[in-house]
Chains A and B, each alone.
Chain A
Amino acid sequence: AQSVTQLDSQVPVFEEAPVELRCNYSSSVSVYLFWYVQYPNQGLQLLLKYLSGSTLVKGINGFEAEFNKSQTSFHLRKPSVHISDTAEYFCAVRRNSGNTPLVFGKGTRLSVIA
């Protein structure tokens, strides 16, 4: 089975500063990796995903993530955050074959301070 650990439950950061949200996963098989964002009172929206190929993945809103197989990590980064990036961020994993469900981490609350 797969599992996801998001190491920080809350991350406060000043506007225009860089941010990294950490995600580690556990799996005995190859996986697909995802980052979703959830704004208040809304559903989840896909930021980016890693399926195969280049380990550096670029997503929407200036976010990017790097797949590191040896470290079993998929950390999310943004070089300069905006107030509008304040939201809950979820890392998710599923095995890359068969029909298996997405497994989500507990989420990281990013708070951007003006």
Chain B
Amino acid sequence: EAGVAQSPRYKIIEKRQSVAFWCNPISGHATLYWYQQILGQGPKLLIQFQNNGVVDDSQLPKDRFSAERLKGVDSTLKIQPAKLEDSAVYLCASTMDLRTDTQYFGPGTRLTVL
């Protein structure tokens, strides 16, 4: 079974530029998560989708971050405009069983904002 795919793996941009990350979850997984992992910290949930609907986006900085999951499969996370403090690894995860919550993580996208 293929795992969670993410691209790009690395991205370097200057502040005030825009950037987008892509995630393809495991086939059949209805729930998809985006996390932000700042160096030296654990992952922090940004947004959770159930199929193509948003379940929780309470920690998403909506003035600059947006995410969508068209057709309930792939997802895109966008930052516009980026700030220095957005430098982090952005992890995508998916799960089939929401109750027991075994999440499967992708390799992440490492974003550096200069």
Q: Give chain A's interface residues, CB within 8 Å of chain B.
A: 4, 32, 34, 36, 41-46, 49, 51, 90, 92, 94, 99, 101-102, 104-107
Q: Does B61 contact A (CB under 8 A)?
A: no
User: On chain B, which size bracket covers the interface?
Assistant: 20 to 34
Q: How far, in whole Å, are A102 and B101 apart by their CA atoms in the complex? A: 8
From B103, B107, B108, A102 is in contact (CB under 8 Å) with B103
Question: In the complex, are the beta carbons of A49 and B102 less than 8 A apart?
Answer: yes
B55 adjacent to A99 (CB under 8 Å)? yes
> Quick check: B43 and A104 within 8 Å, CB to CB?
yes
Question: B102 CB to closest chain A CB, in angstroms?
Answer: 6
Flag if A101 contacts B108 (CB, 8 Å).
no
CA distance A68 to B108 in the complex (A): 33
Q: Is the CB of A90 within 8 A of B43?
A: yes
Residue of A nearest to B98 (CB): A99
User: What are 18 A-B residue pairs whose CB atoms fall within 8 Å in the complex?
Assistant: A4-B42, A32-B100, A36-B105, A41-B107, A42-B107, A42-B108, A43-B4, A44-B93, A46-B102, A46-B104, A99-B48, A99-B56, A102-B43, A102-B103, A104-B42, A105-B42, A106-B42, A107-B42
| B91 lies within 8 A of A106 (CB) | no
CB neighbours of B4 from chain A (8 A) = 43
Contact: B108 with A43, CB < 8 Å? yes
Give the shortest distance, in Å, between A88 (CB) and chain B (any CB). Answer: 9
